[in-house]
């Protein structure tokens, strides 16, 4: 059903094969690209062909897929990136949205709303929820501008 990956070639492959999956669909399946930049919890991480096998946890942020001069950007909520030894990358995201479908005005509104909630939060739960809202919206904001 999902074909097994080819064995590690002896020379460096020129393209990175990406499987970008969501719980309800496969966004990209075996797409041959030049580079993928993922928002790992430790920072933005670029994956090129021949990258060392890695497992990384992702935080809400910008995911960009570079193919020649073409760049496709998605905002993902969280997930994992799994790079294998033969230039195959599996990116799992819980939720992902192409950047052009996000409304900047809504993002600004959400950000100010949550910042206000954070300032007026009284219980720990409220504070935590407001903080999450602020984090996600500021990540969205920087994704849209960056």
Query: C-alpha 64: how far from its chain's center?
Result: 7
Which residue, 95 or 113, is less far from other proteins as judged by CB?
A: 95
Residue from 57, 103, 126, 135 touching other proteins (CB under 8 A): that is 57
- Strand 88-93 and strand 16-22: the pairing is parallel
Is residue 54 a contact point for other proteins (CB under 8 A)?
A: yes
- Within 6-25, the residues that bind other proteins by CB under 8 A are 19, 21-25
Rounded CA-CA distance 70/111 in Å is 30
- Within 79-98, the residues that bind other proteins by CB under 8 A are 80, 82, 84-85, 90, 92, 94-95
Which residues, listed in sequence order, are joined to residue 92 by a DSSP beta bridge? 21, 80
How many residues of this chain bind other proteins (CB under 8 A)? 30
Is residue 26 a contact point for other proteins (CB under 8 A)?
A: yes
Which range touches other proteins (CB under 8 A), out of 50-58, 60-68, 103-111, 119-127? 50-58
Secondary structure class of 109 (helix, strand, coil) = helix
CB 99 within 8 A of CB 146: no
CB of 135 to other proteins, least distance (A): 16
CB of 31 to other proteins, least distance (A): 13
Rounded CA-CA distance 17/127 in Å is 41
Residues with Cβ within 8 Å of 139's Cβ and at least 6 positions away in sequence, in order, are: 39, 59, 60, 61, 62, 75
Q: Which residues bind other proteins (CB under 8 A)?
A: 1-2, 4-5, 19, 21-26, 29, 40-42, 45, 52-57, 80, 82, 84-85, 90, 92, 94-95
């Amino acid at each position: 059903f999902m074909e097994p990956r080819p064995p590690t070639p002896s020379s460096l492959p020129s393209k990175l094969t990406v499987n970008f999956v969501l719980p309800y669909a496969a966004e990209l399946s075996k797409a041959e690209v030049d580079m993928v930049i993922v928002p790992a919890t430790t920072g933005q991480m670029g994956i090129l062909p021949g990258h060392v096998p890695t497992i990384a946890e992702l935080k809400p942020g910008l995911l960009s897929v570079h193919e020649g001069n073409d760049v496709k950007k998605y905002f993902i909520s969280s997930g994992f990136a799994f790079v294998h030894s033969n230039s195959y990358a599996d990116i799992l995201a819980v939720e992902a949205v192409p950047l052009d479908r996000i409304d900047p005005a809504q993002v600004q509104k959400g950000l100010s709303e949550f910042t206000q909630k954070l300032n007026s939060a009284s219980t720990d739960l409220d504070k935590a929820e407001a903080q999450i809202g602020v984090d996600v919206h500021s990540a969205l904001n920087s994704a849209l501008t960056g």
